[in-house]
Structure 1
Amino acid sequence: MTENKVIIFEKPGFQGLSLELTDSKSDMRVVDFQDAISSLRVIGQPWVAYEDTLFGGNYRIYEEGSYSSIDIDNKISSMKLISANLENPAIKFFEKPDYSGMSVVVKEEAILKYGILTNGGFSWQVLSGAWRMTDDSEDSPNAKVSIAGEQVSLYSKIALKKPVIYLRPLNPGKPNYTVNIQWDKKKVLSERVSQLDELIAMNKSNFVQKFTHTTGRDYTSSIEVQMSFGNETTIEVGATLSLKLVGELSTKLSHTISVQRGTTESTSSTVSTKVSIPVQVPAKTKLKINVMRKDVSYSIPVEIVIERNKVKKTEYATLTCRDGTDVTLSRHDEPIS
């Protein structure tokens, strides 16, 4: 489970004294870190850093990521964790104070003056999520935040000088994925045997002879893995899932394969199979050794548990594997005169 936390540092560049917080602090003096933060790292949900105690005064919003320096001049006296569920955000804006006049529901980043509220949002109700909003541009340092359940009857009540123009939902922290490959439900899709090599040794003598050409050969094979997700998946593009395949597809595979959600959702692993060749050929015998490889394709259902901000949900995918590491020998002895 990924825990929501912020790691604060005394100096820029993540240097000096540090402290890890997992819940809001209304007064940084109680943890001996008031006005002493110069850089920070956020893991999980966003945090809001305030200049004054009790979450007062000017503030800055920090979403998941690393900040080698901060733009609040070290003057941080309280910090608040945004604990609201940030998935499926929605906010309703009104063209006049006290939730009157025309209204619009916004579910994503928007510039209100380009829509039906040409003068911006005068009042609003946060239906879900948490929203960063300003009365001018996207990069304004004077952004304010409104959280699910809040109703603001007039923009000035959260210290904005003008109606809201630009807004965007705060991003939730990255989810944690737990993958359960249901090997007991594995189905064979196809099976094919092919010849990799043919080795011939001829012993025309009356005595057993050693096959001295070679005592073994290496054959390179591969395991290919492809993950197929449903059309309605909420797994983010770019997310990496670790698949523990050790001993399940091949005893020669000894590591975990990662599959990335996106345009390419497959990966392969190359393994080397050393085949021992018999070293003795009977008298008056032609020895033929065929090196064969069996390629088997499987389909396996996969259960993926997605956890973010202590909320869990389960999705399903299909894992298709082609295992070509089963290399065997067949021997044929033929008498010769």
Structure 2
Amino acid sequence: MALPSIQLSSVGGGEAGQAQLLCSAQPGVNKIVVYEHAEFEGLCREFTSDVPDLHELDFGDCICSLRVTGQPWIAYTAPKYEGDAYAFEEGEYRTVEKSRALSALRLVHHDLAEPQITLYEHPDYAGQSKVVTEETNLTYGYFNDRVSSHVVQRGVWLLYRHPARAGWYHVAWPGERLPDYKAELGFQNCLSHLRPLQAGRPAVSARILWDQRRVEDERDVLIDEIVGVNTTDLEQTFTTSSSREYVTTTLQSFRFSNATSLRVGLSFTLAVEASNVFTVEKGRSESSTRRDRVEVQLPAKIPPRTELTIHVVRKESTVSVPVQLTVTQNERTTTEPGEYRCVSGRTISTKYTMKPAPLPGGEHSPAAPCTPEP
């Protein structure tokens, strides 16, 4: 029999950093890390595949805390996946309900998307039926304590005797057809609550398809005007400073496809450029505003009898770019489309013109041509 991959270390009370490093979560990877004592202390082992008998690996009946990454695991109180079963979804468990009593571990490798179970009022799938696709407290309806058989179409379900996830529960696997609760579970007319197990976080990588970039809008916006007048016959130093600083903004947003499989709360990063890594969190921060400071150099001199006008212009561009998301979960990889959109005003330039300065008494000197920015 091939043994699962394991890793062994001793983690003392003063080595929390070592434990955290050993068990750091990597989205898309399925593993369970079990500890000899509560609060992730003592001997630590990591498993990435089923363990039918922990005693064969010298770790039976000693688990007091654990961490799960990726898909859920089912722990059993007897070897060969027998005895009472306990489900652990992705997360940290500083203590476990059955401390020092777990003897086998089983990875839930099934597809947990779109779960569905059909409940029947009588044995052998008879009487009234009820299709359930999400966590349900039956005490709020008419089917409480009436179920005697079921068929699982999709997902892995936990069936509880009492509401609010209380009491003994049965783990129902995909394709399971249980014709008689009384004969097989001693559970007839006792079901009050049920829920499907949730998949762990997928790993998401994003590739921006710059070659398909589309400019939706582009325009110049006047943000400042500076005027200097020299009425003398000599060249004069400009009365303002030689440069000015302006704040620019960049609005970034991300749009998921309507058929995305990603749940609210999942986050990933888009490397837009070396200095701009945009973090997207579905349902929370799918847009952000970035502010930068830009320094603009100004002319230093004004020619004789000249009025100099400087226009500071920000170029605003609205750009949309397709993004290819690669989603890895439960050892399966799929791709999904998305869209990165950016409204940027980071490009600032100056345009200046010169015209004859007014003479004393309101008269003007002969006209001179306007000079654009060099």
TM range (shorter): 0.7 to 0.9
Q: Which residue of 1 aligns with 2:121?
A: 95
CA–CA distance in structure 2, aligned partners of residues 48 and 217 of structure 1: 64
Contact 2:152 2:173 in 1 (8 A): yes
Q: How many residues align?
A: 331
Q: Percent identity?
A: 31
Larger relative contact order (Cα-Cα within 8 Å, sequence gap ≥ 6) = 1
How many Å apart are 1:333 and its aligned residue? 4.2
Q: Which residue of 1 aligns with 2:296?
A: 275
Q: Which residue of 2 aligns with 1:305?
A: 326
2:18 matched to 1:12? no
Contact 2:204 2:327 in 1 (8 A): yes
The one-letter code matched in structure 2 to 1:127 is Q
CA–CA distance in structure 2, aligned partners of residues 181 and 320 of structure 1: 11
Q: How does 1:132-147 map to 2 (within 5 A)?
A: 132-147=158-173
Backbone CA RMSD of aligned residues: 2.7
Secondary structure of residue in 1 paired with 2:162: coil
Contact 2:228 2:239 in 1 (8 A): no
Q: Which residue of 2 aligns with 1:250?
A: none
2:37 matched to 1:42? no
| Counterparts in 2 of 1:160 and 1:23: CA distance versus 1, 3 Å | farther
Q: Which residue of 1 aligns with 2:253?
A: 226
CA–CA distance in structure 1, aligned partners of residues 46 and 183 of structure 2: 32
Match of 1:186 among 213, 236, 246: 213
CA–CA distance in structure 1, aligned partners of residues 100 and 294 of structure 2: 60
Q: How does 1:97-176 map to 2 (within 5 A)?
A: 97-112=123-138, 117=143, 119-156=145-182, 159-163=185-189, 164-176=191-203
Q: Which residue of 2 aligns with 1:318?
A: 339
Secondary structure of residue in 2 paired with 1:98: helix
How many Å apart are 1:242 and its aligned residue? 2.0
Contact 2:138 2:163 in 1 (8 A): no
After superposing the two structures, state which structure 1 stretch, 174-183 or 47-56, moved more.
174-183
CA–CA distance in structure 1, aligned partners of residues 346 and 120 of structure 2: 65
CA–CA distance in structure 1, aligned partners of residues 245 and 153 of structure 2: 63
TM-score computed with the length of structure 1 as normaliser: 0.86
Q: Which residue of 1 aligns with 2:309?
A: 288
| Counterparts in 2 of 1:184 and 1:195: CA distance versus 1, 3 Å | same
TM-score computed with the length of structure 2 as normaliser: 0.78
Q: Which residue of 2 aligns with 1:251?
A: none
Stretches of structure 2 that go unaligned for 5 or more consecutive residues are 1-26, 358-364, 366-374
CA–CA distance in structure 2, aligned partners of residues 117 and 219 of structure 1: 66
Q: Per-residue displacement from partner, 1:107-141 (whole Å, max 9, x unpaired)?
A: 22234466564543222222111000122233325
Contact 2:112 2:156 in 1 (8 A): yes
Secondary structure of residue in 1 paired with 2:55: helix
The one-letter code matched in structure 2 to 1:269 is R
CA–CA distance in structure 2, aligned partners of residues 16 and 208 of structure 1: 82
The one-letter code matched in structure 2 to 1:323 is S
Secondary structure of residue in 1 paired with 2:39: coil
The structure that has the greater radius of gyration is 2
Q: Per-residue displacement from partner, 1:40-91 (whole Å, max 9, x unpaired)?
A: 1111111111122212222321111111111112221111111111111112
Q: Which residue of 2 aligns with 1:331?
A: 352
How many Å apart are 1:235 and its aligned residue? 2.8
| Counterparts in 2 of 1:285 and 1:160: CA distance versus 1, 3 Å | farther
2:256 matched to 1:235? no
Q: Per-residue displacement from partner, 1:171-203 (whole Å, max 9, x unpaired)?
A: 111222222322222222222212222334455
| Counterparts in 2 of 1:288 and 1:131: CA distance versus 1, 3 Å | same
CA–CA distance in structure 2, aligned partners of residues 286 and 160 of structure 1: 97
After superposing the two structures, state which structure 1 stretch, 6-15 or 45-54, moved more.
6-15
Stretches of structure 1 that go unaligned for 5 or more consecutive residues are 248-253
Secondary structure of residue in 2 paired with 1:37: coil
CA–CA distance in structure 2, aligned partners of residues 158 and 202 of structure 1: 97
Secondary structure of residue in 2 paired with 1:178: strand
How many Å apart are 1:169 and its aligned residue? 0.8
The one-letter code matched in structure 2 to 1:274 is E
CA–CA distance in structure 2, aligned partners of residues 46 and 125 of structure 1: 21
| Counterparts in 2 of 1:279 and 1:37: CA distance versus 1, 3 Å | farther
Contact 1:239 1:260 in 2 (8 A): yes
| Counterparts in 2 of 1:242 and 1:17: CA distance versus 1, 3 Å | same
| Counterparts in 2 of 1:55 and 1:332: CA distance versus 1, 3 Å | same
The one-letter code matched in structure 2 to 1:69 is T
